[in-house]
Amino acid sequence: MLILLKKGATDDQVAAVEERVRQAGLTPGLVPGKARTAITVTGNWGEAMIPDVRSMPGVMRAIRVSKPYRLATAEAADARTEIAIGEALVGSDNAWFVAGPCSVDEESRLLETAHYLKSLGAQALRGGAYKPRSNPYAFQGHGEPALQMLARAREATGLPIVTEAMDLEQLAMVEEYADVVQIGARNMQNYSLLKRVGRSSKPVILKRGLSASVDELLNAAEYILKEGNCHVILCERGVRTFASHSRFTLDVAAIPVLKALTHLPVIVDPSHPAGVRNLVRPLARAGIAAGADGLLVEVHPEPEHALSDADQALRYADVASLAAEARGISQVLNRSFGADAD
């Protein structure tokens, strides 16, 4: 059962609802929220008191939820969640366009890339300062200096910054610079990190784990929502299968499935499942056609100088074509893609 309080509900009203739940022998779980408070109640027999709770002052809705992820489930909301990031509204009819290098390397190159992407209608700049690498000797990211470069790129272009935090220590630092915190695929089930980012004031992109089911992804999102951060964007980025012709297998079906199961925005990352440049555009087109609320794509002006994921980095001309294609596909679906291009 889920109880949603009205926006202006007073502390006394919230306390009275909690007390009513306790009287029924159940345990209320308070979910603090900037916009509104929610109370989750475990146990099916809580349903009996739904009509009673509904009539209490300060209560907006009291509903039975059938899923274990009570706040992430589509049943918990009467509209899709829309998250304002810069001038974009993620989860709306406008599909979000995020692009940038896998890892931040050189400042002038990053600035040039940011300006170019903005001219194509990109709405946010991605770039890793801390990189989760399979090999410990591989480039690990420039750390805080990279975050500072990203902040200067934001200042120069107005583009909000998306960057990853891999652990609790990095998160404190990343939050100071980022507009959106990315939780990478390898950390989708890092529950202490999820709880901590749930207390962050920054929106979160939560990437699907390498072998995670859709249910596991939604339960991971629930960890963040439960702490009060309702700004969670899910990202399908491919899963591991027996197929060896691409780096991962983009689970296109997961996009409409997730959109039916949750009110949260669902975006697609076509770069990591592709692994190679020539597969990125077809996968991106498939993701947008399947209804993704945005595209997170890796771009580098000179992939031969990229310090990570060089083979899958789109060049300028590729990303220009992709943006045009994504616009065309979105139009067919009565949506738009990205901001206006120059």
Which residues of the chain form contacts with ligand PEP (CB under 6 A)? 102, 128, 132, 184-186, 207, 237, 269, 272
Strands (E), the chain: 2-5, 28-31, 38-41, 59-63, 83-85, 88-90, 94-100, 124-126, 161-164, 180-183, 204-207, 232-236, 266-268, 294-298, 336-337
Smallest distance from the beta carbon of 62 to ligand PEP, in angstroms? 37
251 binds Mn ion (CB under 5 A): no
Apex 243 CA angle, 241 and 246, nearest 5: 105
Smallest distance from the beta carbon of 271 to ligand PEP, in angstroms? 7
**Minimum CB–partner distance for residue 186 and ligand PEP (Å):** 6
State yes or no: residue 309 binds Mn ion (CB under 5 A): yes
CB of 298 to Mn ion, least distance (A): 6
Scan for tokens 């891999």, then name that residue: 166
Which does residue 1 bind out of ligand PEP, Mn ion, none, counting CB within 5 to 8 angstroms by kind?
none
Q: Which is nearer to ligand PEP, 58 or 265 (CB)?
A: 265
Tell me which of ligand PEP, Mn ion, none is bound by residue 277, counting a contact when its beta carbon lies within the kind-specific cut-off of 5 to 8 angstroms.
none
Any bridge partners for residue 39, and if so which?
A: 3, 30
**Residue 26 DSSP label:** -
Nearer to Mn ion by Cβ, of 102 and 290: the residue is 102
3-class DSSP assignment, residue 85: strand
CB 332 to ligand PEP: min, Å: 28
What angle, rounded to 10 degrees, do the helices at 144-157 and 107-120 form? 40
Distance, CA of 117 to CA of 315 (rounded, Å): 11
Considering the rule CB under 5 A, would residue 102 count as an interface residue with Mn ion? yes
Residue with the closest Cβ to Mn ion? Answer: 102
Contact of residue 185 among Mn ion, ligand PEP, none (CB under 5-8 Å per partner type): ligand PEP
DSSP letter at 103 equals: B
* Interacting residues with Mn ion (CB under 5 A): 102, 309
